[in-house]
Amino acid sequence: MKTTNYDWVETFRQCYDKAVAEYGKGNRQAAKYFNAEETAFLASIGCTAQEVYDFAEDWCTSQEPSFATAVLVTSVRRDFLRVVQKGQPSRRTISMADLPAKDAQVDGFAWLPRIIAKARAKLRGEMSPEFMYSCGGDRAFLKKVDIHPADFLREVWAARDDDRKIIEYVKKQAPKA
């Protein structure tokens, strides 16, 4: 598997399709989906077998997120790894207990504090296998405020540690009642 910067999306597609097929066969062990070369490729783009598994599982069970969303989200993470982290992954892992509660609110937006924390963990590659960025709860929130998961990641990246910038972006994007 020789992958270049030019064709990484095709290699990611092969891994994604393999995960969908494995899930369809009943394999629920993400760690056994990919060989060493595929696992190394995923690491090189800031992705894990678990993250591809999560995309495949949600696709197989609810027909979302699409491959297009998976690759766009992965692309933002890949860019963050290359640009901000200079190719050096974080050694930190964020657990489910580190996230704000599902019912935590800010400026009337339930889930927003949680998805901000998850987006930051996704960008830095610090997600525990116990949760997913762009899970069903994230997708429901992002649909409600009319923001694509990859666009939200980009906004969190641009805002750095300024939650207020993210909150104002969400308020601006959210459909008016």
Mean pLDDT of 45-54: 97
Token pair recorded at residue 31 = 């760690």
For the cut 80, the answer to whether the pLDDT of residue 1 exceeds it is no
Q: How many CB atoms lie within 10 A of CB 98?
A: 13
For 121, the 3-state DSSP assignment is helix
Alpha carbon of 161 to those of 7, 43, 111, 116, 167: distances in Å?
33, 25, 18, 10, 12
Cα gap 98→151, rounded to integer Å? 23
Residue 5 confidence (pLDDT): 85
Judge contact between 117 and 94, C-beta under 8 A: yes
Q: How many CB atoms lie within 10 A of CB 16?
A: 20
Confidence of residue 106 (pLDDT cuts 50, 70, 90): very high
Percent of all residues in the chain with a pLDDT value above 90, rounded to a whole number:
95
For the cut 80, the answer to whether the pLDDT of residue 177 exceeds it is no
Higher pLDDT, 172 or 176: 172
DSSP states of 41-55 as a string?
Answer: HHHHTT--HHHHHHH
The mean pLDDT of the chain is 96
Residue 2 confidence (pLDDT): 72
Residue 3 confidence (pLDDT): 79
Mean pLDDT of 69-84: 98
Cα gap 91→112, rounded to integer Å? 25
Judge contact between 73 and 150, C-beta under 8 A: yes
Token pair recorded at residue 71 = 């690759």
pTM metric for this prediction: 0.95
Residue 108, Ramachandran bin (φ over 0: left; ψ between -120 and 50: alpha; else beta): left
